[in-house]
A and B are shown apart, each in its own frame.
Chain A
Amino acid sequence: MHTDLARRASLLPQLAHARNPGMALDLDWVASVQANTSAIERRAASLPGRRSVKKDWQAAWLCKAVSLIDLTTLSGDDTPGRVQRLCAKARQPVRADLLAALGMEGLTTGAVCVYHEMVEVAVRALEGSSIPVAAVSTGFPAGLSSYRTRLAEIGDSVAAGAAEIDIVISRRHVLTGNWQALYDETAEMRAACGAAHMKTILATGELGSLRNVARASLVCMMAGADFIKTSTGKESVNATLPVSLVMIRALRDYHARTAFRIGYKPAGGISKAKDALVYLSLMKDELGHPWLQPDLFRFGASSLLGDIERQLEHHLTGAYSAANRHPIG
């Protein structure tokens, strides 16, 4: 079992970097973190106007975005059939003729992301593809189930073959400033993940302020997160550029202080190809090339892929495309 997990984990690109072991909770550092909301919003608002990629560059960047998507289904009506279909789409995210014309054969999405009950189905459906399966966990999305069951859920999903675990943090610890509790809980969850990589979902839309987002990001990294992720997709506000800027700056500071690279996953609300390009330029400019690879950057998205497919066909034909020309996932 463990050998199998290690084998699957070895397929993950994360191993190119040393894994974040975490560090002792440094409350002085946490307390010193500032995030000026209006300045961050102004910066975010100007970002789309500052960078532009055109023609072949745009096509290549969109292919990159595809390779970074955690293709996701997190619905109460998910069935094995639905998940198998999604996995097929993950293997062949863009029509084969389009990929051939782009010279991008073999492109897959970054991962498939499902609830625990669908993990085994997804693992089977992706066998031989090297596409990892991510499981949302720990009482997703609210994170208010019993602590024992939340921890147990991680172990169950890892046992079922999930190589990545997307945990949700206890928002109440952030809202009450109980950083120690957040740290302890996240560190235990990291331990429960074992070799599987842990993405900590901050649910930024429920944290009240960008300063809280910055501080929570830092505490989760100190507790050993491999990724920090914005949202469950179930909050009323999900990934936004201002939130991303704050989390990315936290990643940069953590890297500067510890030399460990942590990944970033914006989730929810990114549905247009153009938005994906803005995020990519943000990662490139703020953090650099390593953060443009699937081991350090993912999009949590479901409808984004459809828009990218249409844009890629438009790039090749010069004619605007239609949704029905691209197989659904």
Chain B
Amino acid sequence: MTVRDIFNDMSYGPAPESAAEVLEWIASHGGRFGHWIDGGFADLGDRGFTSFNPATGQPLAEVAQGTDASLDVAIAAARRAQPKWAKLSGHQRAKHLYALARLVQKHARLLAVLETLDNGKPIRESRDIDVPLVARHFYYHAGLAQLLASEQPGMAPLGVCGAVIPWNFPLLMLAWKVAPALAAGNTVVLKPAEFTPLTALLFAEISREAGLPKGVLNIVTGDGDTGAALVAHPGVDKIAFTGSTAVGRKIRAATAGSGKALTLELGGKSPYIVFDDADLDSAIEGLVDAIWFNQGQVCCAGSRLLVQEGVAERFHAKLKTRMDGLRLGDPLDKCIDIGAIIDPSQLASITAMVDACREGETYRAACPLPAGCFYPPTLITGLTAASPLMQEEIFGPVLVSMTFRTPAEAVELANNCRYGLAATVWTENINLALDVAPKLKAGVVWVNATNLFDAAAGFGGVRESGFGREGGWEGLLAYLKPAATPKPLKPTLASPAPRAPETPEIDRTAKHYIGGKQARPDGGYSRAIWSPRGKLLGHAGIGNRKDIRNAVEAAHAAKGWARSTAHSRAQILFYIAENLSARAAEFAARLRDLTGKPGEAEVEAAIARLFTYAAWADKFDGAVKSVPIRGVAMAMNEPCGVIAALCPDEAPLLGLISLMAPAIALGNTCVLVPSEPHPLAATDFMQVLECSDLPGGVVNIVTGSHAELAKPLASHMDVDAVWSFSSTPLSALVEREAAGNLKRAWVNHARARDWFGPEGEGRGFLRAATEVKTVWVPYGE
């Protein structure tokens, strides 16, 4: 074409970014990479596999398929390096992280081009989004390392962290795992995704220039088997995983009972809500960045469009026009919007899901589609909540859409989903935006924006999108534990039935407490409770799975509790303490009867604990994060929802109150199974609750066998978090059963906790009772 031809047709020509430097780097390694272990590339004789450029199908390099043996070597290196790394001062670790941040910036283009070659994402995204976010993450965590000792006293690193990361943001996900792990004093063994191992290896090589001690960062390449082996390896103390919900569920089950800390950042089907007063053109550009960013292969992609009926037709028309203008092609071209799908298998999966859709109207963008691993931007309108594509994650450039009538319906539709990662809300009405944001089941909400990320702001999901946050102090805490080593927990046993029972004058019947009413056990079985000296203290109902079902239903029916003010919740907790205090002597006597030991101290501690959480109810503040936009990113502490707990056996009253009080203080409702050997303190306590203005259903108490009730509680799909402090060894079962809906599980791993001391209360409990939701609100007029 001559200049005049182009002058006349004003076409875009090719604008390729050079790959020469990256290919040279690969060639300088002979086109073959071992694992990165102990500060260097290690050839452990593993067989190799090829990493391809998805845009061309051409091989890029050979990498090693990590085996159990290679993981042993890497984990041993990490273990050796960990104590020394943890012993460095926060300032010294901060200097290493700062150096990593600077090195990422200095090698920015090399990293960006390699990322695009290996992943197929447009160079604009790797250059302008991924790599700058990586640098930002290391800068931010250099700061966290610097402040860690003074800001988080009494906390210690976990040890060796295993990280398994996905192929959609290979380097960024590395940063999200490595930066907090290292800042906290852990060492890392990271398994990059099979499709995209190369930037991790380049980063590792660069880390040498940051003077990172040998063994602090190790990379073992391989496929899903390697990842599974890392998860199962007894030498790691924590697993941090980002990937699919299916694999996350397997990891939850595989690590159950192992004592390994776990954070999961999984899939999503994030709603993108457009109200009729929104700036529609801006909302459409937001959609481009929501569902056509990284070819839609984004866990938090705004993939579920909910648009208000009155503007839907106009919005869809505008959207289709916009889609037609998207440019697909060579990801290295600087004038491309959408690059290649990661792999032919993913392309086939997207194609199959869309082709199976028999409803609605499918619109494929009228933009030229290059040959190879590409999929056109697609919009499917006219679907309903029942349509499979409205519920299932496609993980490709496919947007599904339906309409709503009212804000309440928008929220209902948005939450009608198993996932809960992110949500987007477009409206010019601040009242509406700030009303809707807290109602959405999601870890992140963007108002009039989408896909905003920053190291200071927590990112992560609820429901089947996983648990744990990445970024901010809340993210760092997932890499820390209390420094003290807890003692083993001995079982607490019920007093046996005596040969010559001493029976009371008047029979007393303890029932369950469900929905604010005392309820007979569904099964119709009771158990006699004896004092150590052989006195019959009463009977306690033996709860079964139907009692649990009823209790969880009652807990959900009391959801108004979450909307009550913190002041009102505090008042009720104070009132419970007041009423307990009025009957202190009676409870002390009951505890003495049950345990054979004086009960006064436990009653006093229980009253104090109620005061503690009455105090916290209106003081567990969120935060406004310093993110680099004009706007606010609010970290809001929201209740988890329904919390189920197996209460400590050894402190029949204090143990129950230590779990109940933080849960309800922060707006949760709960289902509590009290001390199995000594349930009668709890059943007496029902009467205190009944006269303390506590709405029915906020606290539900089902007595019975922990071993029996653990499974229905932990597997219940409508329970949001499960805690177990039972002295029956149930941690493994609870964590495994929690995998069903990926609820948060907090278990004691058969370790004791001093319920009377500081470890029996405080921020750890408050954090367990809340989800941090980050609400981004950019502003400007």
A-to-B contact residues, CB < 8 Å: 34-43, 46, 49-57, 59-61, 63-64, 67, 102-104, 209-211, 249, 280-281, 284-285, 289, 292
B497 to chain A, nearest CB (A): 71
Which chain B residues border A35 with CB–CB below 8 Å?
279, 282
- Let me know if A49 and B124 touch, CB within 8 A: yes
Given contacts A34-B278, A51-B12, A284-B10, contact A42 B449 (CB under 8 A): yes
Chosen A-B contacts, 6 in total, with CB atoms closer than 8 Å, are: A34-B279, A36-B428, A51-B334, A57-B11, A60-B3, A64-B10
From B41-49, B93-101, B600-608, B773-781, give the one contacting chain A.
B773-781
Size bracket, chain B contacts: 35 or more
Neighbouring A residues of B12 by C-beta, 8 Å? 51, 53, 57, 281
Which chain A positions have C-beta within 8 A of B337?
Answer: 50
Q: Are B6 and A38 in contact (CB under 8 A)?
A: no
Complex interface bits, B252-293 against A, C-beta within 8 A gives 1, otherwise 0: 000000000000000000000000011111110110000000
Once the chains are docked, how many angstroms separate the CA of A289 from the CA of B5? 14
Residue of A nearest to B124 (CB): A49
Given A38-B449, A38-B779, A61-B6, CB of A52 within 8 Å of CB of B335: yes
B428 in contact with A56 (CB, 8 Å):
no
Kindly report which residue of chain B lies nearest to residue A292, judged by CB atoms: B10
Q: Which of A53, A54, A56, A210 contacts B1 (CB 8 A)?
A: A56
What separation, in Å, do the CA atoms of A67 and B4 have in the docked complex? 12
A52 to B9, CA, bound (A): 16
Interfacial chain B residues near A104, Cβ < 8 Å: 3-4, 7
Question: Using Cβ atoms and an 8 Å threshold, which residues of chain B touch A56?
Answer: 1-3, 6, 13
> Which residue of chain A lies nearest to B285 when distances are taken between CB atoms in the complex?
A43
Q: Say whether, besides A34-B428, A57-B12, A103 and B780 are in contact (CB < 8 Å).
A: no
Is B15 interfacial (CB 8 A cutoff)?
Answer: yes
Instruction: Establish whether residues A49 and B128, one from each chain, have CB atoms under 8 Å apart when the complex forms.
Output: yes
Q: Which residue of the partner chain A has the closest CB to B128?
A: A49
Closest B residue, CB atoms, query A101: B3
Quick check: is B630 within 8 A (CB to CB) of the other chain?
A: yes
Q: Give Cα A59 to B13, complex, Å.
A: 11
Judge if B57 is at the interface, Cβ distance under 8 Å.
no
Within 8 Å CB of B127, what residues of A? 49
Contacts of A210 in B (CB 8 A): 781
Distance (Å) between the CB of B765 and the closest chain A CB? 38
Q: Which of B333-361 contact A (CB under 8 A)?
A: 334-335, 337
Do most interface residues of chain A lie in helix, strand or loop, or is the interface mixed? helix
Q: Mark B427-465, 1 if CB is under 8 A from A, else 0.
A: 010000000000000000000110000000000000000
Q: Is B14 an interface residue when CB atoms closer than 8 A count as contact?
A: yes
Task: Out of B4, B15, B335, name the residue touching A103 (CB < 8 Å).
Answer: B4
Q: Which of chain B's residues has its CB closest to A41's CB? A: B780
Residues of B156-176 at the interface with A, using a CB-CB cut-off of 8 Å, are none
3 nearest A-B residue pairs (beta carbon): A57-B13, A60-B6, A39-B282
Chain A nearest CB from B573 CB (Å) reads 41
B631 interfacial by beta-carbon distance below 8 Å: yes
Q: Are A36 and B279 in contact (CB under 8 A)?
A: yes
A57 to chain B, nearest CB (A): 3
Collect the chain A residues with CB atoms within 8 Å of residue B5's CB: 60
Residues A55 and B13 in contact, CB atoms below 8 Å apart:
yes
Q: Known contacts being A41-B780, A56-B6, is A36 close to B13, with CB within 8 Å?
A: no
Interface string of B211-245 (1 = CB under 8 A from A): 00000000000000000000000000000000000
Residues in A whose Cβ lies below 8 Å from that of B488: none
Is B325 on the interface with A (CB-CB < 8 A)? yes
Q: Count how many pairs of residues, one from A and one from B, have CB atoms less than 8 Å apart in the complex.
A: 103
Known: A38-B449, A42-B449, A53-B15. A209 touches B781 (CB 8 A): yes
Question: Would you call B3 and A63 a contact (CB within 8 A)?
Answer: yes
In the complex, the chain B residue whose C-beta lies closest to that of A36 is B279
Q: Are A38 and B280 in contact (CB under 8 A)?
A: no
**Whole-angstrom CA separation of A292 from B7 in the bound complex:** 10
Give complex CA distance A211, B5 in Å.
39
Closest Cβ–Cβ distance, residue A36 to chain B (whole Å): 4
Given contacts A54-B15, A281-B12, 5 further A-B contacts (CB under 8 A): A34-B278, A36-B282, A39-B778, A56-B3, A57-B12
In the complex, which of the residues B11, B277, B631, B779 contacts A34, with contact meaning CB atoms closer than 8 Å? Answer: B277
When chains A and B are docked, how far (Å) is the Cα of A57 from the Cα of B1?
9
Q: CB within 8 Å of A: which residues of B?
A: 1-7, 9-15, 124, 127-128, 277-283, 285-286, 325, 334-335, 337, 426, 428, 448-449, 629-631, 778-781
Across the interface, A38 reaches (CB within 8 A) one of B11, B14, B631, namely: B631
Closest to A35 in B: B279
Closest to A50 in B: B124
A158→B327 CA distance, assembly (Å):
44
**CA–CA, A211 and B337, complex, Å:** 28
CB-based contact A57/B6 at 8 Å: yes
Bound complex: CA A150 to CA B14 (Å): 49
Q: How far is the CB of B452 from the nearest CB of chain A, in Å?
A: 9
Among A57, A102, A249, the one with the most B-chain Cβ atoms within 10 Å of its Cβ is A57
Give the chain B neighbours of A43 by CB distance below 8 A.
Answer: 282, 285
Closest to B2 in A: A103
- Chain A residues contacting B128 (CB-CB under 8 Å) are 46, 49
User: A53-B15, A53-B335 are contacts. A64–B630 as well, Cβ < 8 Å?
Assistant: no
A52-B335, A63-B3 given as contacts; is B448 within 8 A of A38 (CB)?
yes
Instruction: Specify which chain B residues have a CB less than 8 angstroms from the CB of A50 in the assembled complex.
Output: 124, 335, 337
Please name all residues of chain B whose beta carbon is closer than 8 Å to the beta carbon of A46 when the two chains form the complex: 128
> What is the CA–CA distance of A42 and B12 in the complex, to the nearest angstrom?
23
Please indicate the chain A residues that have their CB under 8 angstroms from the CB of B448 in the complex: 36, 38-39
Q: A51-B335, A56-B6, A103-B4 are in contact. Are A38 and B630 (CB under 8 A)?
A: yes
Check if B13 sits within 8 Å of A37, measured CB to CB: no
Kindly provide the distance from the CB of B446 to the nearest chain A CB, expressed in whole angstroms. 10
A199 to B780, CA, bound (A): 29
Residues of B within 8 A of A103 (CB): 2-4
Known: A38-B448, A102-B3. A289 touches B285 (CB 8 A): no
Give the complex CA separation of A281 and B278 in angstroms. Answer: 26
Given known A49-B124, A64-B7, contact A34–B280 (CB-CB < 8 A):
yes
**B278 (CB) vs chain A CBs: closest residue:** A34
Q: Which residues of A contact B7 (CB under 8 A)?
A: 60, 63-64, 67, 104
What are the residues of chain B within 8 A of A36 when measuring CB–CB?
Answer: 278-279, 282, 426, 428, 448
Residues on A with C-beta less than 8 A from B278 are 34, 36
Q: Does the CB pair A38–B780 fall under 8 Å?
A: yes
Q: How far is the CA of A34 from the CA of B448 in the complex (A)?
A: 12
Cross-chain contact of B325 among A49, A57, A285 (Cβ < 8 A): A285
How far, in whole Å, are A56 and B15 apart by their CA atoms in the complex? 11
Q: Compute how far the CA of A57 lies from the CA of B3 in the bound complex, rounded to whole angstroms.
A: 7
Let me know if B286 and A39 touch, CB within 8 A.
yes
CB distance from B748 to the nearest CB of A (A): 47
What is the distance, in angstroms, from B244's C-beta to the closest C-beta of chain A? Answer: 29
CB distance from B525 to the nearest CB of A (A): 61
Task: Specify the chain A residue showing the minimal Cβ separation from B452.
Answer: A42
Which residues in A have their C-beta under 8 angstroms from that of B2? Answer: 56, 103
Interface pair A54/B3, CB less than 8 Å apart: no
Query: Would you call B428 and A289 a contact (CB within 8 A)?
Result: no
Which of B3, B277, B334, B780 contacts A52, CB < 8 Å? B334
Task: Output the least CB separation between A295 and chain B (Å).
Answer: 14
Task: Compute how far the CA of A272 lies from the CA of B128 in the bound complex, rounded to whole angstroms.
Answer: 22
A114–B383 Cα distance when bound, in Å, is 57
Instruction: Write the nearest CB–CB distance from B384 to chain A, whole angstroms.
Output: 28
Question: Do residues A53 and B3 form an inter-chain contact, with CB atoms below 8 A?
Answer: no
CA distance A42 to B629 in the complex (A): 10
CA separation between A63 and B12, bound complex, in Å?
A: 14
Report A-chain residues with C-beta under 8 Å of the C-beta of B9. Answer: 289
Chain A residues with CB under 8 A of B282: 35-36, 39-40, 43
Residues in A neighbouring B4, C-beta threshold 8 A: 60, 102-104
Most buried by B among A41, A42, A51, A67: A42
Cα distance A52–B285 in the bound complex, in angstroms: 19
A42 — which chain B residues lie within 8 A by C-beta? Answer: 449, 778
- Would you call A39 and B630 a contact (CB within 8 A)? no
Please, which residues of chain A bring their CB within 8 A of the CB of B286? 39
